[in-house]
Amino acid sequence: MTSSDSSAVVLGIDLGTTKVKVIAFDPRLGTVTASAETEYSTAVTADGGSEQNPDDWWSSVTATCRKLFEEVRPDSVVAVGLSGHMHGLLLLDKRLAPVRPAMTWSDRRVGAFSEKLRANPRFRELGGNDVVDAFTAPKLAWLAETDPDSLARASHLLLAKDYLALKLTGQLGTDITDAIGTLLWDVGNGQWDDELFSLCGATSQIAPEVVDSSLVRGSVTAEAARETGLLAGTPVVAGAGDVSAVALGSGLVDSTIISLNAGTAAQALGSIGKLDAGNGFLFGNALGRGYLAMSSVYAAGASVRWAESVLFPSQSIEDLASQSEPGAEGLSYLPFMFGAVVPRKNDAARAAFVGQTSNHDATHLAAAVLEGVAFACADAVEAIVQLTVTPKTVHVVGGVANSTVWQRALSSVLDVPVLRLPEGGSALGAALLAAIGAGISTQEDALTSLSRQEFMRPSAEVVDKYHEARARFMRARDLLV
């Protein structure tokens, strides 16, 4: 065990769309001292359903914590912070047991309900966002009509990370960022809105208490300590939805920086001071400093994962793509498996390969997928630039950023330096909230020592090829979306 392992650390627990990640972070040194991950499953149905078992969340968290404690002493953990995937719908009964599986943000059964709610201007006026399938509100409306018995048995509505807080501390509640992400929260007045709940066929009586993201919600119970290996009494901070947590964990401290989180979905984020995200989405800032504007690629890493499992089950997509010339010999991939945001919001859009010929092989398919995801991420970044100032840097975090092909394509088509924070992300954001909530550190101090790696821009010839490929991508995108 290193000397940093023996100092006080905070834990960041991130409940992602496909896996749990737990990190131990030393806020004084600004370093991640250990990390562990556990994947869990999602039930996907032919009609677009996407559901998860909350018991799987908790069992994955307990297993991951115990993995981590093979490297970190539990008595060195001074606080725990949480983040989790947003916009889902988890309902609990009076006994605090789930009444049904949790619907995730990617559930697409709710399209007709999104369209109906979108016609009502109150959601945009009060919630700050247009109604799209990803939000909680249309899921609640769908459930009220298709499964009213489950809704009738519900006493509490929670978001993903809040279920972890309940299991850790026995306390119910959520934070401001996840509340805004439901589209049931009156952002201007800072309260749950009875009208918005009613329009979804429900009552705001099921809504949880809302607190600041860095507030200590409670402490680890004896039962949770036995299951996780944490010490009973360890403070647990409320935490934030993963979008807001990743902004914190990627060093988004002012409007000169844009954060790009390239995970299962990708989000480009920028700081704004007003309740208007234009054609993007409005999110809460976990530290309460104004708001965040976000543009998304719903299926970034999801597209890569799909290609790896379906097209290249026994080969590396990165190795294949690196054998192709930039531009994939004219083949374009549009990564819209779950809908599109840029150039316009279209939940009905779906992914496609465009320009395929008999000359294309696996290397071109692989390159097209990684390039298409990169070009869609560039679209998202540029959408945020329109709402903020021209950025000095783009900070990139997330698993997709491990791809050299993706890095080359993205850095070629963006005109500002692109920096990768290898240790950044929503788990780090959760850990920073724990450090801030426990009074150990500030965001600025903790981020000072984080390593940053600049993407090297390719040669001018390669840059030109990627620009040509992106132009083809954009023409096809505009026809599809």
pLDDT digits (tens, 9 = 90+) for 246-302: 999 998 888 899 999 999 999 999 999 888 888 889 999 999 888 999 999 999 999
Kind plus residue range of the DSSP H or E element containing 115: helix 111-118
pLDDT digits (tens, 9 = 90+) for 43-88: 999 999 999 999 999 999 999 999 999 999 999 999 999 999 999 9
Largest CA distance in the chain: 64
- For the chain, report the end-to-end CA distance as a whole number of angstroms: 53
Class of residue 41 by CB neighbours under 10 A (exposed 0-12, middle 13-18, buried 19+): exposed
Return the pLDDT at 3.
32
How far apart CA 94 and CA 306 sit, in angstroms, is: 39
User: CA nearest 141: which of 208, 202, 183?
Assistant: 202
pLDDT digits (tens, 9 = 90+) for 415-453: 899 999 988 899 999 999 999 999 988 777 877 767 788
DSSP assignment of 247-264 equals: HHHTT--STTEEEEEESS
Joined tokens for residue 311: 């097209």
Residue 1 has pLDDT above 70, yes or no: no
How far apart CA 18 and CA 392 sit, in angstroms, is: 32
CA distances from 87 to 17, 129, 217, 454, 467 (A): 11, 13, 21, 32, 35
pLDDT digits (tens, 9 = 90+) for 133-145: 999 999 999 999 9
Q: With the C-alpha atoms ordered 429, 435, 437, 442, is the resulting torsion angle positive or negative?
A: negative
Q: With the C-alpha atoms ordered 356, 362, 367, 369, is the resulting torsion angle positive or negative?
A: positive
Q: Are 232 and 163 in contact (CB under 8 A)?
A: no
Return the pLDDT at 449.
67
What single-letter amino acid sits at 264?
A: T
Mean pLDDT of the chain: 94
Position of tokens 């390039």? 371
CA-based Rg of the chain, rounded to a whole angstrom? 21
pLDDT digits (tens, 9 = 90+) for 14-35: 999 999 999 999 988 888 999 9
pLDDT digits (tens, 9 = 90+) for 224-233: 999 999 999 9
pTM: 0.88
User: CA nearest 274: which of 289, 295, 261, 259?
Assistant: 289
Residue 481 has pLDDT above 70, yes or no: yes
Candidate from 91-95, 144-148, 190-194, 395-399 with smallest mean pLDDT: 395-399
Find all residues with CB under 8 Å of 420, minimum gap 6, and list them: 395, 396, 397, 401, 407, 452, 453, 454, 455
Number of CB atoms found within 10 A of residue 344's CB: 10
Strand-pair category, 240-241 with 257-262: unpaired
Joined tokens for residue 146: 């298709």
Class of residue 39 by CB neighbours under 10 A (exposed 0-12, middle 13-18, buried 19+): exposed
Find out whether the peptide bond into 98 is cis, omega within 30 degrees of 0: no
